[in-house]
Amino acid sequence: MDFEELCRHYYAATGIHMALLRGSEAVYSSLGEALDVPLPGSWPVYLPEQNPAFCSIPPHTLYGMVQIAGEDQAIILGPVFNAAVSDSLLKQLMEALRLPADRADNLQFALNETPRMNSLQLARHLALVHFLVNHESIPYEQLYSHTEILTPGDEQLKKREDTLESGDTHNAYYFEVEMYQKVREGSTEQLSRFFQEHAHDALKEGKMAGDPLRQAKNVFLSVLFRTGFIGAIPGGLDVEKTYQLMDYYSQEAEKLTSVEAVSNLQYAMVMDFCHRTGEAKRPDNISSDVWHCMNYIRSHIYEPITVSAIAADVHRSPSYVTKKFRAELNTHITAYIHRCKLEEAQTLLIYSEKSLSQISAALCFSTQSYFQNLFKKQFGITPAEFRRKARTI
């Protein structure tokens, strides 16, 4: 197979930027062609154990990597974004991609043309490309171990050794482990008590920036990602919801102008993840079948959802699933689907700039008017009124 041509055609069909690596050398890059810049001599990558794998540059940039079996080659998908490309992110990407300053406007244009995409959507593309090149079908849910692709050089590792020898170590291990365990458990009361008992044990990192504010923001991002990946997701919080919250909090942190404000947001962020994880845990009176169905619905919130598809996923009949939902949740399963989609609509109304028509289409409502009517019936307020009030609080 001509992998370079595959990359060209896939980019043309989807708008997702593609790169082909041979060893550590880039032999093709759609972004390089779009910007009319030479390809970098080598990329600082390693071959992760998982194939395919996610990889990222915080805060909003997401990549995917597919290793080609039997070849010293790999395909990179991305960058893709779940949020608008800010000036700070643009600068970060310019440095990461080693682009000259006069290419900033071109890069901004190219990135604005890139389709907005969340991790679930990228996972599906990764699974498809993996199937095309390696002829192996894998469930896209398998990709959520989130492997980083960028690795530190020898000089950075030497600095790490010197830091450890000097006694200025990273976060106290047991403090951090216990904090993420509290998030997994989902008890905000226990987490609040934990913070009170350890009021003087601040989360720290090795030096990540020369400026104190930038250092505080970098520490925030590090804690944010670990709170999501080590605490919330293993605790039962929906993967997509976790990614949305990480996108939101990383954007909010970038807006802040003082170290104290970043510290306050960090506390609020960890408490929020803990609260949401607690809400996501299965109650004792909910059977495993119904819990499985509930998770299926929340994991497919951006797709048309049918009772037949839900029943098939849990290996039950539609009538059985409908009856169980009614008995355990005192609601029809269709009403539960609508409620989940409408709750997701609330998140989009607050944290995104999508129009009502875009939100309605993204959540697969048949028409915008139907979406608006359901929303008002559920919450007693129109989507537009909800957005306006939520943003003035």
Question: In this structure, what token pair is assigned to residue 356?
Answer: 């009502």
Contact 363, 344 (CB under 8 A): yes
Q: What is the pLDDT of residue 360?
A: 93
Question: b vs e for 332-346, b when ≥16 Cβ sit within 10 Å of the residue's Cβ?
Answer: ebeebbbebbbebbb
Chain mean position to CA 91: 21
Task: Report the alpha-carbon angle 239-245-251, nearest 5.
Answer: 140
pLDDT, tens digit, 9 for 90 and up, residues 309-325: 999 988 899 999 999 99
Note if the bond before 59 is cis, omega within 30 degrees: yes
Q: What pLDDT was estimated at residue 171?
A: 43
β-pair partners for 61: 57, 81
Quote the CA–CA distance of 354 and 350 in Å, as a whole number: 10
Q: How many CB atoms lie within 10 A of CB 161?
A: 9
Best CA proximity match to 62, nearest among 89, 43, 25, 36:
89
Tell me the three state secondary structure of residue 91. helix
From the list 85, 120, 62, the residue with the least C-alpha distance to 254 is: 85
Give the pLDDT confidence score for residue 54 in this predicted structure: 74
Helix (H, G, I), strand (E, B) or coil at 98: coil
pLDDT for 96 equals 65
**Gyration radius from the chain CA atoms:** 23
Q: How far is CA 348 from the centre of its chain?
A: 15
pLDDT of residue 117: 73
Q: Give the amino acid at 12.
A: A
Give CA–CA dist 80/60, Å, rounded.
8
Residue 352 is predicted with a pLDDT of 81
- The residues with which 65 forms a beta bridge, in sequence order, are 53, 76
Q: What is the pLDDT of residue 146?
A: 41
Domain 288-390 annotated CATH 3.40.47.10: no
Instruction: Count the neighbouring beta carbons within 10 Å of the beta carbon of residue 153.
Output: 8
pLDDT value of position 364? 92
DSSP states along 219-287: HHHHHHHHIIIIIITTTT--HHHHHHHHHHHHHHHHH--SHHHHHHHHHHHHHHHHHHHHHHSPPTTS-
Residue numbers in the chain where pLDDT is lower than 50: 44-47, 57-60, 145-171, 204-209
pLDDT computed for residue 132 by the predictor = 92
